[in-house]
Amino acid sequence: MTGGRRGRRWALAAAFVAAGAGAQDRLPLCEACHGAGGVSQTAGVPSLAGQPKLFLETQLVLFREELRVSPQMQPAVNGLTDKEITRLADHYAAQPARPVADGPADAALTKQGLAFAQKHHCGSCHLPDYRGRQQIPRLAGQREEYLVESMLAYRDNRRTGGDTIMAAALYGASDADVRALAHYLARLR
């Protein structure tokens, strides 16, 4: 993201907060980074479309309360009420998820990622089709580079506000395993 785009997004966030914008009013702010309908076209920024409502609510509360730290998200959620968080979560949970994987699947990486997911029973929590449930996120079709960074942050205990189960699940995973798993998950429908 260029400095100019980042600056415009910060200015937009500040304007929405200053105006006391509600949930529906904040959708353009959310979509400036997370994409139209919550389908991210921006590297490193997750798609929100199709995520479980409870997961979205939880993450927004964690950001608002600064238990999950993100310089980009704190201004965007500043002042959101619980009711507004619920409305935003309802909106994005109802949007159709659409994979945005860059390029075709690499057969070897896909095979390695599938083997890792099966060995570590990832589908036990995230469900066999990786659509997520309750407070557990959808992984199918999520941005690949975002999955890599998130999983490495969990593995390396750099993720604030996260579930320790993920740190344990990824303990000992190599960077190559994480990249393969992200490659596999990003291409699921």
Tell me the CATH number at 113: 1.10.760.10
**What angle do helix axes 175-186 and 144-155 make, rounded to 10 degrees?**
140
Nearest to 92 by CA among 36, 38, 30, 31: 38
> With pLDDT > 70 as the criterion, what percentage of the chain qualifies?
88
Please report whether residue 139 resides in a domain: yes
Q: Are residues 82 and 134 in the same domain?
A: no
User: Do 59 and 26 fall into the same domain?
Assistant: yes
In a domain, 50, yes or no: yes
Packing angle, helices 107-119 and 175-186, rounded to 10: 100
Contact 132, 138 (CB under 8 A): yes
Q: Is the pLDDT of residue 62 over 90?
A: yes
Q: Are residues 79 and 126 in the same domain?
A: no
Q: What is the 3-state secondary structure (H, E, C) of 32-100?
A: HHHCHHHCCCCCCCCCCCCCCHHHHHHHHHHHHCCCCCCCCHHHHHCCCCHHHHHHHHHHHHHCCCCCC
Do 83 and 55 lie in one domain? The reply is: yes
Same domain, 19 and 75: yes
Within a domain: 167: yes
- 8 Å CB contact between 126 and 139: yes
Last residue of a domain, one of 94, 118, 152: 94
Three-point CA angle 79, 83, 84, nearest 5°? 55
pLDDT of residue 164: 87
Q: What is the pTM of this model?
A: 0.87
Poorest-pLDDT segment among 20-34, 46-60, 174-188:
20-34
Q: Are residues 88 and 129 in the same domain?
A: no
- Identify whether 8 is part of a domain: yes
Does 51 reside within a domain? Answer: yes
| Cα–Cα dist 90/79, whole Å | 18
**Domain shared by 75 and 142, yes or no:** no
Local confidence band at 4 (pLDDT 50, 70, 90 cut-offs): low
Domain that holds residue 170: 107-186
Q: What is the mean pLDDT of the chain?
A: 90
Based on the fold, state whether residues 119 and 59 are members of the same structural domain. Answer: no
Question: Domain count of the chain?
Answer: 2
Lowest model confidence (mean pLDDT) among 8-17, 33-42, 101-110:
8-17
